Chains A and B, each alone.
Chain A
Amino acid sequence: MTTYEAVIGLEIHVQLRTRTKMFCRCPNRFGDAPNANVCSVCLAHPGMLPVANGEAVRQALRVGLALGCRIPERSKFDRKNYFYPDSPKAYQISQYDQPLCAEGAFQVPGEDGGFVVGITRAHLEEDAAKTIHVGGEAGRIAGSGSSIVDFNRAGTPLLEIVTEPDLRSGEHARRFLTLLRATIVATGASDCDMEKGTLRCDANVSIRPVGSTGFGTKCELKNMNSFRFLERGIAAEIARQTALLEVGGRVTQATLHYDPSSESLTVLRTKEEADDYRYFPEPDLLPVAPSPTLLEELRAGLPELPVARIARLRDTYGLPDATAATIALTPSLADYYEELAALTGDPRLAANWTMGELSAHLNAASLEAAASPVTPPRLAALIALTVAGTVGSNAAKTVFGELVADPAVDAATIVERLGLAQVDDADELGAIVDAVLAANAAEVAAFRAGKVQLIGFFTGQVMRQSGGRADPKVVQALLNDRLR
């Protein structure tokens, strides 16, 4: 039987974080009353002229540089013609053959050696208006009585990033998009929130026999709004196409929607013929020619990007790739970690706490690391107590909870106040050990008869009787001594 491999490319739309729209100076802002942020330009009144937003150009260039794109000497805007109520001009201003950012390459690291994704291009364009379909079923377009258009989003700046078909699985797509998102966020160009729609992703998926270099018929998965759904949607589409080919069928070019709740794919439309948008140069806008000075300035202003930070965390602190990646993807968490690693002098332990208790607390409280009441010095003091053997691991978690609850108190005070200090006194623990062994004579006999795994049972009993404060190492030693 033929084995197939998937060929996947992504098209990503990123809403840029500018104050004003792409071609007019209406606010680029969401959540306002419908049609509050509109003017003659974004409503396409006759005779109005667009002027490109310089800040949007700078942000797009920053992203392009961060993705390793070549920045051509000159780029221009074009009209993409189509009829739809969300586009009042009956064309979208986009970029066709001369995008702002040309080919680039993006490295995704990983335990498996990682992979490289070619960036075909990144270009500027304007977003469409929002349409709400009324009079039909649950906001669906089919069967709706009419649609209501809100032009607040019309004309807001978008950066469209197109990748080469270099991805081979849903998992690769998720890993790539996760890192791409973190990189764009680091440039400050967008908050890239998939739930809010400031990052949107379509995937072109086809399959081909392993070893073949041609391309199968591709299908487009529209608007997957989370990293998980992107991964699952692609996996579902690969399975669908494979099943089709295995029974001798063929894939029809189509646009599909993935419904994560039912994990099913619905065909939105099949494509009988290629789209014909009749692109032509936008006569109302002049070309953009980024100067070498500007590019140098933008390049110099880029922060340390996630890919570089992952490598640095891995090399400087000896962290595994996956750990370094998880920490580096959130800059404030990475800053926290580096301070904690320096304070404790133990990068591994600092990573365990950052990934464990700290991250759980940040997620539960929806906090950035920098805003946590448990500052790196407070956590470092707690870690020092665990290293010194003053508190055991369970007690340390209790102390951490108290550090969250009361920002004014330090770890040592909590340990003292709650009596959480580990007991390593051999006499005190010896008495508990003796009591436990006396109360479980049958198990002691079984242990001596060879059921050595009962050591865990005895340890557990002693820990419980000590209120969780016994030093497990001392308990083990005492048990071994008594049971020998």
Chain B
Amino acid sequence: MALTESDVRHVARLARLGLAAGEAERLRGELASILGHVSAIAALDLEGVPATSHPLDLVNVLAADEVVPAAGVEAALANAPDPVANGFRVPPIGA
């Protein structure tokens, strides 16, 4: 299926990316070439082959439910641009 400029705009909107004039067309070409590369798989006969969700052939890598002391609020807020009362202040949502 051919990638359209409107697909590119849709993906950009989902990723909250602003596109300058002409960028959608340029990116359409670049994205199409990447997708074209991956679509080489479609030429193979994959009947009955399960999709790979992870390259490592491991399962059940699980941690014991034992607390490791947390970083602490000071360390947590060390990089906060606008800390307030032990919290991260963020700009109004949906404004």
Q: Do A and B come from one complex?
A: yes
A-side interface residues toward B, CB under 8 Å? 18-20, 24-27, 33-40, 43, 51-57, 74, 76, 81, 83-85, 98, 131-133, 135, 141-142, 144-151, 276, 278, 281, 283, 285-289
In the assembled complex, the Cα of A147 lies from the Cα of B82 at a distance in Å of 11
**Do B63 and A52 touch across chains, with their CB atoms under 8 A apart?**
yes
Tell me whether B53 is interfacial, beta carbon within 8 Å.
yes
- Determine how close the nearest CB of chain A comes to the CB of B15; give it in whole angstroms: 8
Most chain B Cβ neighbours within 10 Å, of A37, A133, A141, A276: A37
Interface contact A281-B93, CB-CB below 8 Å:
no
Please tell me if the beta carbons of B61 and A52 are within 8 angstroms of each other in the complex.
yes
Given the interface contacts A148-B84, A148-B88, does A288 sit within 8 Å of B62 by beta carbon?
yes
A388 smallest CB distance to B (angstroms)? 54
Chain B residues in 8 Å Cβ range of A34: 73, 85-87
Whether B76 pairs with A51 at a CB distance below 8 angstroms is no
Q: What A residues does B53 contact at CB under 8 A?
A: 76, 98, 281, 287
Interface string of B57-76 (1 = CB under 8 A from A): 01111111111101111001
Q: Which residues of B contact A84 (CB under 8 A)?
A: 93
Interchain CB contact under 8 A, B64 and A54: yes
Residues in A neighbouring B64, C-beta threshold 8 A: 54-55
Does residue B38 face the partner (Cβ distance < 8 Å to A)? no
Q: Assess the B62–A53 pair: CB atoms within 8 A.
A: yes
The residue on A at minimum CB distance from B71 is A39
Query: Least Cβ distance of A141 to chain B in Å?
Result: 6
Say which residue of B58, B68, B90, B94 sits within 8 Å of A149 (CB atoms).
Answer: B90
Q: How far is the CB of B34 from chain A (nearest CB, A)?
A: 15
Q: Give CA–CA (A135, B95) in the complex, Å.
A: 13
Within 8 A of A (CB), among B34-80: 53-54, 56, 58-68, 70-73, 76-77
Q: Judging by beta carbons under 8 Å apart, are B93 and A52 in contact? A: no
Given A51-B61, A52-B61, residue A35 in contact with residue B89 (CB < 8 A): no
Partner of B91, one of A25, A51, A54, A146: A146
Q: Does B18 contact A (CB under 8 A)?
A: no
Q: A278, B14: Cβ atoms under 8 Å?
A: yes
Given contacts A146-B91, A151-B88, contact A56 B65 (CB under 8 A): yes
**Would you call the interface of chain A mostly helix, strand, loop, or mixed?**
loop
- Closest Cβ–Cβ distance, residue B65 to chain A (whole Å): 4
Give Cα A285 to B64, complex, Å. 15
Q: Please indicate the chain A residues that have their CB under 8 angstroms from the CB of B58 in the complex.
A: 286
Q: A36-B72, A74-B59, A148-B89 are in contact. Are A19 and B14 (CB under 8 A)?
A: no
CB within 8 Å for A288 and B88 given contacts A25-B68, A35-B73? no
Chain A residues with CB under 8 Å of B56's CB are 286
A144 to B62, Cβ gap below 8 A?
A: no
Chain A min CB distance to B66 (Å): 7
B16 close to A83 (CB less than 8 A): yes
Which of B68, B76, B85 has the most CB atoms of chain A within a 10 A radius of its CB?
A: B76
Closest-by-CB residue of B relative to A136 is: B92
**CB-based contact A37/B70 at 8 Å:** yes
Beta-carbon contact of B63 and A25 below 8 Å: yes
- A residues less than 8 Å from B76 (CB atoms): 35, 38-39, 43, 151
- Cα A36 to Cα B90 in complex, Å, equals 18
Can you list 29 A-B contacts with CB-CB less than 8 angstroms, sorted by A residue number? A18-B65, A20-B66, A20-B68, A25-B68, A27-B70, A35-B76, A40-B71, A43-B76, A52-B62, A53-B63, A54-B63, A57-B62, A74-B59, A133-B92, A133-B93, A144-B92, A144-B93, A145-B92, A146-B90, A150-B86, A276-B10, A281-B53, A286-B56, A286-B58, A287-B59, A288-B59, A288-B62, A289-B59, A289-B60
The 3 closest A-B pairs by CB, nearest first: A54-B62, A55-B65, A148-B87
Residues of chain B with a CB closer than 8 A to A85's CB: 88, 90, 93
Q: Determine whether the beta carbon of B89 is less than 8 Å from that of A19.
A: no
A345 to B63, CA, bound (A): 50
Residues of A within 8 A of B73 (CB): 33-36, 38
Contact between B67 and A146, CB atoms less than 8 A apart: no
Say how far A58's CB is from chain B's closest CB, in angstroms: 9
Q: Give the docked Cα–Cα distance between A276 and B68 (Å).
A: 36
Complex alpha-carbon distance, A37 and B67, angstroms: 10
Contacts of B61 in A (CB 8 A): 51-52, 285-286
A475 CA to B67 CA, complexed, in Å = 69
Partner of A288, one of B60, B65, B84, B86: B60
- Report the Cα distance A85→B91, complex, angstroms: 9
Nearest Cβ in chain B — how far from A399, in angstroms?
48
Given the complex, which residues of B lie within 8 Å of A283, measured CB to CB?
Answer: 54
CA distance A36 to B87 in the complex (A): 10
**Contacts A52-B62, A150-B87, A278-B14 known; 7 new A-B pairs at CB < 8 A:** A18-B65, A33-B86, A36-B72, A81-B14, A146-B90, A149-B88, A286-B58
Residues of A within 8 A of B77 (CB): 35
- Contact between chains at B70 and A36 (CB < 8 Å): yes
Beta-carbon contact of B62 and A51 below 8 Å: yes
The smallest beta-carbon distance between A18 and chain B, in angstroms, is 5
Which B residue's beta carbon lies closest to that of A33? B86
- Distance, CA A83 to CA B67, complexed state (A): 29
Complex contacts, A146 vs chain B, CB 8 Å: 89-92
Q: Per a CB cutoff under 8 Å, which of B14, B59, B86, B92 touches A276? A: B14
Q: Are B71's CB and A38's CB within 8 A?
A: yes
